[in-house]
Amino acid sequence: MVQQWKEVGPNRYRETFGRYFEDFREGDIYEHRPGKTVTEYDNHLFTLMTMNTHPMHFDAEFAKESEFKQNLVVSPYTLAILIGMSVTDVSQKAIANLGMEEVKFTAPVFAGDTIYGESEVIKKRESKSRPGQGIVTVLTTGKNQRGETVCTFYRNLLIPSRGNAVEDKIENY
């Protein structure tokens, strides 16, 4: 997490977060902390809020008969956790998420598992059509408390250059 302070008056500082386009370097890896321990409540709430009716996610008796013998955490929740974890390091200053590619869920997640994430900067380039902005591609990997990879995905973001972020243009932000 890039945490900075800007002076906003005599002996007064304001905390800021995030990276500008210039701050990203190909090959850098950002470890996202803290981790998130998934609870049964988290899983049930997300599953039902998104209208996923598959009983593997909320019916313990059904799940007992499966190969996993317990409820699975619904995969979009795992993805949402990892995106959320990466915000302060990767997209706090983003103008837009341009897309995700190759989302893979490589191991099951269960209630009680703790998810940790990291993002590697794969490439970056200045935008051809939007001066003062660039496109950054990261590969985010989520692992559980045993170090097993549970999810990977590429994410493309439109990031402002220094002086071009929304907060740079708001006088008292």
Question: Is the full-model pTM beyond 0.75?
Answer: yes
Quickly count helices (H) and strands (E) in the chain. 4, 7
E strand map for 49-113: 96-104
**Is the separation of the CB atoms in 94 and 159 below 8 Å?**
yes
pLDDT score for 172:
66
The one-character DSSP state at 66 is S
Give mean pLDDT, residues 24-29: 95
Q: pLDDT digit string (tens) for 123-148? A: 999 999 999 999 999 999 999 999 99
- Residue 45 pLDDT exceeds 70: yes
What domains, with CATH codes, occur in the chain?
A: 15-169 (3.10.129.10)
pLDDT score for 17:
78
- Mean pLDDT, the chain, as a whole number? 91
